[in-house]
Structures are given as C-alpha cells and as structure tokens.
Amino acid sequence: MATGTVQSYNVHHGYGLITPDEDGPALYVYFDSIVAEGDRALTEGQRVEYDPTDQEGRPVAEHVRPL
C-alpha cells in the first residue's frame, strides 16, 4: 500500500485529491473508495494509505484507509 496526504476533499461532491508521499501526480479519491467505519469523509491534511490505480487515464486511489 502507498501512503499520502489528503490535499482536498469535497464532502458534498464525494471526491478529492491525495498527494502521494513518493513522487508522482496527485490521485483522485472517491467516496466509495474510502474504507472506514462510520463517517467516510476525509479532511485536508489527513494521512491515508491506499492502493494506486489508473482509471480511464487518470490516477485514482482505491481502498483508502485513514492512518
């Protein structure tokens, strides 16, 4: 699993961006990719781990877990 920091997350739209710890572009994160009990929203600056994937030519974070 890779790790990174939530750059932004819009609760109303259900998506945001994660800045990876290692070099590379920011990854999109979607509400249904967040693995957590209770509130599945992310906050700016929050540390997370995730599986990086590529969907339709854009970097996406899957199985996102808050640290």
Q: How many CA atoms lie within 13 A of 37 on its CB side?
A: 0
Residue 23's domain is classified under what CATH number? 2.40.50.140
Q: Is 66 helix (H, G, I), strand (E, B) or coil?
A: strand
Tally of domains within the chain: 1
User: For every one of its 67 residues, what pLDDT tens digit does the chain have, with 9 covering 90 and above?
Assistant: 999 999 999 999 999 999 999 999 999 999 999 998 888 889 999 999 999 999 999 999 999 999 9
Separation between Cα atoms, residue 13 and residue 25, nearest integer Å: 21
What would the two tokens of residue 24 be? 């590379």
**What pLDDT score was predicted for residue 29?**
97
Structural domain span for residue 10: 2-66
Separation between Cα atoms, residue 62 and residue 54, nearest integer Å: 10
